[in-house]
Copies of this chain bind each other. A is one copy, B any other.
Amino acid sequence: MDKKYELNVRLFKALSDTNRLMIVNMLSYNELCACKILEQLGITQPTLSHHMKILCDCDLVKGRKDGKWTHYSLNGDTVSNLVSFFHDITITDNNCMCKEDEKGCYD
């Protein structure tokens, strides 16, 4: 269970950068090669490479090598899993862990 948290923390970290969010958005439309992504962002090529590594390492994005080019695409499964996880930890129900406590601030 702690593993699950750490896995999803990695995904949230990958999404904690404006450039990477924009990359994710671009890839939602279609597979793109790095050079096309680079055109849209005001960063250098090594910085983009670094961001793509972070996105791929957590499986949010898939890379496909094709000759000189690397084509990137969104991994829909990872997106779905993250949405599910976030839904799970935020759904409101009433299983309050402290409802039947006898002392503390909820007497």
Contact = CB atoms under 8 A, between A and B. Distances in A.
B30 A6 contact: no
A24 interface: yes
A33 interface: yes
Interface string A84-107: 001101111111111100001110
Nearest to A67: B105
Contacts of A22: 5
Given A21-B89, A74-B92, A30 B98 contact: yes
Interface residues of A, number: 47
A90 B79 CA distance: 8
Given A69-B105, A89-B28, A92-B74, A98 B17 contact: no
A83 B91 CA distance: 12
Interface string A27-67: 01110110110001000000000000000000000000000
Contact of A18 (B6, B25, B92): B6
8 contacts: A5-B18, A26-B97, A28-B89, A29-B95, A30-B98, A35-B105, A40-B97, A83-B86
